[in-house]
Homo-oligomer: A and B are copies of this chain.
Amino acid sequence: MHEELREDYYALVHRLSESSRLGGIMGILHWDQEVIMPAGAAESRAQQIGSLAGVLHEKTTHPEMGRLLDRLCQSEENGFNTFEWCNIREAHREFHMATRVSKTLVTELAELSSRAHQIWVKARSENRFSDFAPVLKQLVDLKIKWAGCVFPDMEAYDANIDVYERGSTQKDITPIFDKLKAELIPLIKAIQESDYKPETSFLSGQFPVEKQEALGRKISEEMGFLFDQGRMDVSVHPFCGGSHPTDVRITTRYRTDNFVESLYAVIHETGHGLYEQGRMQDGRDLPVSEALTMAVHESQSLFWERMIAQGKPFCTRYLPLLAETFSHNFKDVTPARFYEAVNVSGPSLIRVEADEVTYPMHVILRYELEKGLFDGSIQVEHLPDLWNAKMKEYLGVEPPTDTLGVLQDTHWSGGAFGYFPSYTLGAIYASQFYQALIRAKPDIEKQIERGNLTPIREWLGTQVHQQGRLLSVPDLVKQVTGENLNPDNFLDYLKNKYRQIYRLN
């Protein structure tokens, strides 16, 4: 390799590290805003975030960045190893995504999203979709325009999906979602009609916040979360944030009448947190070590939440700890009863409260509507009727208000179209990964029953966390599971599990 090419690569690494650090600072600003910031600072914080976003944009689109990338990308036969080539490729993608859009469009999108969010908050609280519709239409139009600039060869909706789930297109997703629909709608109906209902009364009661916090912290720690390189706090919506793999911050929220929600939020966010803490030691300030896609991130949180913590071995292991913590409630509860209680399934109106069987239907509904909005087959004003009809068809329930229906999610108000599929792709990956784990470590369920969660974290670490962005999602899934993205596993898992719990056939 030419000496100069090597110099160019080092110059690129220097610029990427700087952007990564500034991005980490943005992480702290967001975390602080959600967790700790005084209410009166909302306006000044918004301006700080705006200024830092401007600096990041300047750094990403700096002309020198373009010159470096031009030289570095001249040939793929340039002697860079996969680690180095990944950084170049990622920087190239970022640069083009940022520079192919005019500053006017960027500003227009940022302002419209900010305005739309405020309109949505009000429209949702007042149950007036018609107030939100005009700005939603503008957002869709602008996002179609944006897609034409950034990925001119893609369909507009695919371009939007690509932001969160690069490489996945409607061509891949639609058949998978159709299959899920075909199999899950009857399963949901059968569960609904079953005479057997798991007993859940022992999950109700009074659960002091300190006890919940100690419990969550203990389980998070046993999962492998490093509290000297992270924190656990409280926020309105649980999330995983922070500024660096050595500074990973998860949150939960507490209700004194329900500990399950908080505990499983901790487990879910710890799953995200372990991905971040587990990033490869080299290149932690470079794109190569970053989480691959939203769906892969979600596969990690769902892996721990659904595949592990809602499984029998985990319920068996942790029931005694629960009984010790909340002795009043868990006197005569068996592991089997606890397992069934945390796996209750039933149709509901709100996505974020849905269980693992019904959740995909919420996602598919949104996916189909977004698809229609972007290909022009659906008009914004018809969304509420279509939403309600699909809810009826897929889940057998109908929202009494738009607040509990089409207005429930924040995503569209921020222009985040194409994000929803990631949730269900993540759930599918999680079940495929779990099968692979069982093949790799046949005694893993026994280990879980003994409270040894380390092999899980280590396996996910080697297989996923430390892989960073070296591989594409399809290549990673193939490498870990030996097969492609495949919903069969996920469907078999759901059918077997819930037929057993609900005593179906």
Taking beta carbons and an 8 Å cutoff, which residues of A are in contact with B?
Answer: 17-18, 21-22, 24-25, 28-29, 32, 36-41, 43-45, 47-48, 50-52, 54-55, 226-231, 243-247, 284-285
Are A44 and B244 neighbours in the complex by a CB distance under 8 Å?
yes
> Closest approach, in angstroms, between the C-beta of A41 and any C-beta of chain B?
4
Question: Known contacts A18-B51, A25-B48, A44-B246; can you find 14 more A-B pairs with CB under 8 A?
Answer: A18-B54, A21-B47, A24-B48, A25-B29, A28-B28, A32-B32, A36-B231, A38-B227, A38-B229, A38-B231, A40-B226, A40-B228, A41-B246, A45-B247
> Closest approach, in angstroms, between the C-beta of A24 and any C-beta of chain B?
5
> What B residues does A51 contact at CB under 8 A?
18, 21-22, 25
Complex: chain B residue closest to A24, CB-CB: B48
Are A25 and B40 neighbours in the complex by a CB distance under 8 Å?
no
A351 to B246, CA, bound (A): 36
Of B25, B36, B52, B284, the residue contacting A36 (CB under 8 A) is B36
Of B28, B44, B243, B245, the residue contacting A247 (CB under 8 A) is B44
Complex: chain B residue closest to A22, CB-CB: B51
> What B residues does A230 contact at CB under 8 A?
38
Complex: chain B residue closest to A52, CB-CB: B25
Q: Which 7 A-B pairs have the closest CB atoms?
A: A41-B247, A40-B229, A44-B244, A21-B51, A40-B228, A41-B246, A21-B48
A22 to B54, CA, bound (A): 11
Of B48, B55, B284, the residue contacting A55 (CB under 8 A) is B55
A233 to B67, CA, bound (A): 47
A235 to B316, CA, bound (A): 42
Are B246 and A48 neighbours in the complex by a CB distance under 8 Å?
no
A245 to B41, CA, bound (A): 8
> What B residues does A43 contact at CB under 8 A?
246
A44 to B23, CA, bound (A): 12
A22 to B22, CA, bound (A): 11
> What B residues does A229 contact at CB under 8 A?
38, 40-41
A487 to B352, CA, bound (A): 66
A41 to B284, CA, bound (A): 13
9 contacts between A and B (CB under 8 A): A21-B50, A22-B52, A25-B51, A38-B227, A40-B226, A41-B229, A41-B243, A43-B246, A44-B243
Of B18, B21, B40, B52, the residue contacting A246 (CB under 8 A) is B40
Complex: chain B residue closest to A50, CB-CB: B21
Are B22 and A55 neighbours in the complex by a CB distance under 8 Å?
yes
Of B28, B40, B41, B47, the residue contacting A32 (CB under 8 A) is B28
> What B residues does A28 contact at CB under 8 A?
28-29, 32, 48
A17 to B245, CA, bound (A): 31
Are A47 and B285 neighbours in the complex by a CB distance under 8 Å?
yes
A470 to B129, CA, bound (A): 50
> What B residues does A29 contact at CB under 8 A?
25, 28
> Closest approach, in angstroms, between the C-beta of A327 and any C-beta of chain B?
27
A482 to B413, CA, bound (A): 58
A37 to B243, CA, bound (A): 10
